[in-house]
Structure 1
């Protein structure tokens, strides 16, 4: 029987969450929740959402929704904030208490996000939070960087797809460690470009090869995709992505 997870996009509707320079937490969390959920569904996990549009539900309503659905896990996604902009950065996860599978999941998510360049602020106990206290299932709240940190926002925007994949991998790793899922046979590559014109793809591939990047071109769905390497873990793919970013390329990690 597939395991079920409710993904909660923090805040929503009349509650924007933290705001910084016009950026609203509720928008970042909704985009991230949908992206994480899509990856989990592709891996055979049943995914439900507290919201898929910009609507408001109280934390209590969200907890009751998860309880009524009878899901196995509850993962709430947020962006952190600090009274003084650009004075703090990093990712952290919150749990009711530091025990069991929920602690493993929180630690795994943090470690996956750390590979993308975030500071790992660790796992903290927050027994007073309604979505952790009133949910009947294992629950984790993820703070995906500080919304009033320019450094974290740059990471969030430049590596959005990789961040969604990292959170999903942290969840999946935990399920696999505890025998809930079959081990993944996935691999990862880093896409450096996708073109309708094959000549552009060939040009980019040669440019990358000239810099000793192991680039290849493949055709898929009418597009010529230029990718670099094939890696068994997201950590190794993230290391290559950082190299390509430093060299000036816009990239995304793709799961094979």
Structure 2
């Protein structure tokens, strides 16, 4: 069953949000929210919106809509503001408290946006915000740069599509949806290299003078613990595993950074390491090389 997420474009209607040189927060948030939603839908997420046009709903109404819909997550998109123009720039995310999957999702979103060029101002607990306090599901409010920062506005306008993708990727990475599904080998069906039979090899399979056949090497196994589009996430997981004495490394390929643990000659050895990793709370899959 797919995840469901309600996306909230901050402010709207009679509430323009923060305003700077004629620029209105409610317009930026709506366009960005719709772009994020399209990406999430393409990845199989059920997306609902608090608004898709320029209308006003109170924060309480938005929280109640999410609760009544029974969605899995609530993500609210905003632009920040500071009393003095061009004094502060950067992205930050707000959560009810700094715990659980909402904190992980907020951190992942911030790191993705940092990769675009925003200053990462971190995650802050704001238990007084209605959309964070009254929602019954994990909720994150993302402040996508300061609307009264020329630096952030330039980043926002010049990298709009990348920003939408970054926020979507932060959400998807948290849910594990960006991790490819690799079939788990069945120990009873593990491939076994056959004994060489001279009669089964063609003439060109004996490249040396002693007519010694070239025997394919038996498969080796490794344990994958994660796959990310952002190398920062992969490196963070690698360091975490290394601190627990797991021989972790990052392997790049096909646009993904995979975190792998060990190289094992037998499926049994790989399965033993996988058991230890799962006992430590990590999601794993054994892959053959």
Q: So what's the TM-score if we normalise by structure 2? A: 0.63
Higher RCO, 1 vs 2 (CA within 8 Å, ≥6 residues apart): 1
Q: Counterpart of 1:195?
A: none
- The answer to whether the 8 Å contact 1:108/1:173 transfers is yes
- Of 179, 182, 189 in structure 2, the residue corresponding to residue 183 of structure 1 is 179
Runs of 4+ in structure 1 off by over 4 angstroms are none
Query: Is 1:52 matched with 2:52?
Result: yes
- The answer to whether the 8 Å contact 1:146/1:152 transfers is yes
Cα distance, 1:235–1:151 mapped onto 2, change above 3 Å:
farther
Cα distance, 1:184–1:28 mapped onto 2, change above 3 Å:
farther
Q: Counterpart of 2:229?
A: 233
Query: Is 1:123 matched with 2:119?
Result: no
* Alpha-carbon displacement from aligned partner over 1:69-124 (angstroms, at most 9, x marks no partner): 00000000000000000000000000000000000000000000000000000000
Alignment of 1:1-256 (within 5 A): 1-176=1-176, 181=177, 183-184=179-180, 233=229
1: CA distance between counterparts of 2:97 and 2:169?
22
- The answer to whether the 8 Å contact 1:76/1:140 transfers is yes
Where do 5+ consecutive residues of structure 1 fail to align?
A: 186-231, 237-254
SS of 1:115's equivalent in the other structure is helix
Higher gyration radius (CA): 2
- The answer to whether the 8 Å contact 2:97/2:127 transfers is yes
The structural deviation recorded for 1:183 is: 1.6
Cα distance, 1:235–1:79 mapped onto 2, change above 3 Å:
farther
1: CA distance between counterparts of 2:180 and 2:93?
24
2: CA distance between counterparts of 1:143 and 1:64?
22
1: CA distance between counterparts of 2:73 and 2:180?
19
Cα distance, 1:158–1:60 mapped onto 2, change above 3 Å:
same
2: CA distance between counterparts of 1:183 and 1:8?
26
2: CA distance between counterparts of 1:2 and 1:121?
31
- The answer to whether the 8 Å contact 2:178/2:229 transfers is no
Q: So what's the TM-score if we normalise by structure 1? A: 0.71
- The answer to whether the 8 Å contact 1:166/1:234 transfers is no
